[in-house]
Amino acid sequence: MVRNAVCLPRPKSANAPVGAESIGGFIAAPSKFLTITKALQLWSSGGGVKGARTPAPNTITEADAARRRFVELFGDLPVHHINKGMAASIGTQSAEYPKVFPQT
């Protein structure tokens, strides 16, 4: 496992998926794939399924904060491209920051 690695934004390359765009230095997924942002939107609204429960507002806020950190590091990837290592690196980096920053 690599520790203390720096993740830099990737410019769009020749081997990027067809339809991918470079947005802010990150590669955005083609529109035909379910991205992490779209998945969070569907989940937070109950998925549009009759009778589905929607999560509590605080749960949605926490999940959106995690999604923003993930997108900052890896871009708005299709859900099927996310692996355990990516998720673990988010948890590791989150543990390094305090939940509440001191007031100055």
> What is the reported pLDDT for 60?
94
In this predicted model, what pLDDT tens digit does every residue of 52-100 receive, in sequence order?
Answer: 888 999 999 999 998 998 998 899 999 999 898 888 887 676 666 666 6
State the pLDDT confidence band at 1, using cuts at 50, 70 and 90: very low
SS3 (DSSP) at 27 = strand
Which residues have a Cβ under 8 Å from the Cβ of 23 and sit 6 or more positions away? 75, 76
CB 9 within 8 A of CB 24: yes
**Burial zone of 91 (CB within 10 Å; 0-12 exposed, 13-18 middle, 19+ buried):** exposed
Return the half-sphere exposure (C-beta side, CA atoms, 13 A cut-off) of residue 37: 12
Q: Which two tokens stand for residue 39?
A: 């998945």
Q: Round to whole Å and give the CA distance between 12 and 16.
A: 6
pTM here is 0.57
